[in-house]
Structure 1
Amino acid sequence: MSISEEKPTLTLEQVVQELELRIVLGRLRPKERLVEEDLILELGVKRHIIRSAFLELERRHLVDRRPNKGARVRDYSVEEVNALSAFRADLYRLAISKIRFPISTKSLAELRRIASAYEIAGQAGDYAGAVALDNAFHTCLSELCENRFLTASIEEMSTAARPIDCFRIADPATMSRAVADHQQIIEAATRGHASELAELCVNHVFASSDTYNREVLLHRHLSRKESLRR
């Protein structure tokens, strides 16, 4: 291979995005170890890039790092999932209480544009695109409170909850529910019904966490049964 044909080196942010996507889409499972050597060979980057990526993923609450044990995909307990969801619900309630209604036509149009693009991405099986658009939708919504600190807090907790929110995103029923939720949120925002909007956002958060808890608990139960058979 000539120099001009060499595969371009990934940046730190690109490595972080790739690993985050694998975690969010379940390609890397909770408790799964991230092996430095394997990732260096696969992604073609230096060790310091992988280690810096682990640090950033830890900051985003997506992995746990332990001395001499490397990094593993974070494994949320049911209690942690419920606590995180409750905190996010409180943040959404606060943010929506700060929104000045009526919402501008421009902001509503942007929410509709993102929601439509999300639905198209899901139908096309572009789950990476759907994840990014779901993030964009909720960021656009939270920014309506016009408080950058509150918006930043919502974004940080949303990042931590991304594996929960996007769990089973490839399932048609899950995708349909998310599309319907987005539409109802837009309709409530258009009508200027703050209490209805807050309730819809809170229900959207808890629907994802309930699905995650059910599936993860079932998986752990089956894993324990399998271990006992061995």
Structure 2
Amino acid sequence: MRPGLESSLSSSGQEIFDALRDDIVFGRLNPRERLVEADLVSRFGSHRAAVREALAALEHAGLVDRQRNKGASVLDLKPERVEQLYAVRILLETTAVEAIPLPLDSAALDMLVAIQREHQEAVASNDLRRIFNHNNRFHGTLYTQSGNLVLVEMIEQCATRALTVRFHPYMDRGFLERVCSDHWEMIDACRRCDRAGLVALVRDHLPLAKNRYLDTYDQLLVQGGVLALHP
């Protein structure tokens, strides 16, 4: 994930940022749930300055919405916004794999295999934090092979904006196994110098989480106790 405002946080601010990011990413906090500063100070045994610092970084990362006189809440990524975000992600990520030189450098291929083996082990042990990290590493390593670091940064920015969508279905074993299968097929396409196949795999892989999120969007609002606010 691309460094941003969170890279300059104090130790207390970083601790709060990491915990709230995980709560949002892994569905323990739902869209539009309020993040009350006093409650967070109590929860983390910290102070308001560190809480505000963390909330500002979460807003910068696209996970929290802060409004004057209303406070902070988990960002509600509405369906239209999600569709637009994923249209951009598909454009950027297919552009990256179209630029990857094939045959892929053997060292890069070995690295992808090693990362995916660790990802597969994390899925087998249902270790959400490791799944999160190795999934990011796999895609980051793949797209870096394009040699266009500006493109890679833009991909990472959009991926961060989509975190609540990407990791919404993590409790679905079938989804996690499908992601692993897709990653192995991408590696195989790189081995076979099958650019068209690689592009198709990336294009089909990206909407998996998006479609699940959209299918359960109203349910998420119910869980957050805010369905009455949904237009």
TM-score class, shorter-chain normalisation, is 0.7 to 0.9
Aligned to 2:208: 207
Number of the residue aligned with 1:4? none
Q: Partner letter of residue 77 of structure 2?
A: Y
Q: Which residue of structure 1 lines up, in the alignment, with residue 74 of structure 2? A: 73
Q: How far 1:206 moved relative to its partner? A: 0.9
Q: 1:27, CA displacement in angstroms?
A: 0.4
Tell me the secondary structure at the aligned position of residue 29 of structure 1.
coil
Q: Partner residue of 2:151?
A: 150
Shift of 1:14: 2.9
Flag as ranges the 4+ runs of structure 1 deviating above 2 A.
9-15, 217-224
- Measured in 1, the distance between the counterparts of 2:97 and 2:182 equals 16
Cα displacement (A) at 1:223: 9.1
User: Identity over the aligned pairs, expressed in percent?
Assistant: 30
8 A Cα contact 1:10 1:43, kept in partner: no
Counting only pairs closer than 5 Å after superposition, residues 32-51 of structure 1 correspond to structure 2 as 32-51=33-52
Aligned counterparts, 1:118-157, within 5 A = 118-157=119-158
Cα separation, 2, equivalents of 1:102 and 1:73 = 43
Q: Which range is displaced more, 10-19 or 184-193?
A: 10-19
Aligned letter for 2:94? R
Cα 1:52–1:144 shift into 2, 3 Å: same
Partner of 1:6: none
Deviation at 1:10, TM superposition (A): 4.5
CA distance in 2, matches of 1:218, 1:21: 20
Q: What's the secondary structure of 1:71's corresponding residue?
A: strand
Alignment match, 2:6: none
Q: SS at 1:114's partner residue?
A: helix
The answer for the alignment partner of 1:98 in structure 2 is 99
- Read off the aligned partner of 1:73 and give its amino acid letter: V
AA at the equivalent of 1:24: V
- Tell me if 1:17 matches 2:18: yes
TM-score (norm 1): 0.88
- Residue 102 of structure 1: SS of its match in structure 2? coil
**Which residue number in structure 2 is paired with residue 83 of structure 1?**
84
RCO higher in 1 or 2 (8 Å CA, sep ≥ 6)?
A: 2
Q: Provide the secondary structure at the position in 2 that maps to 1:145.
A: coil
Instruction: State the TM-score, normalizing by the size of structure 2.
Output: 0.88
Q: CA RMSD in A?
A: 2.0
Q: For the pair shown, which has the larger CA radius of gyration, 1 or 2?
A: 1
Distance 2:223 2:34 in 1: 21
Distance 2:87 2:137 in 1: 21
Structure 1 equivalent of residue 175 of structure 2: 174
Q: Supply the distance in 1 between the matched residues of 2:13 and 2:87 (Cα, whole angstroms).
A: 32
SS at match of 1:31: coil
> Which residue of 2 is the match for residue 159 of structure 1?
160
Q: Gaps (5+ residues) in structure 1?
A: 1-8
| Corresponding residue of 1:62 | 63
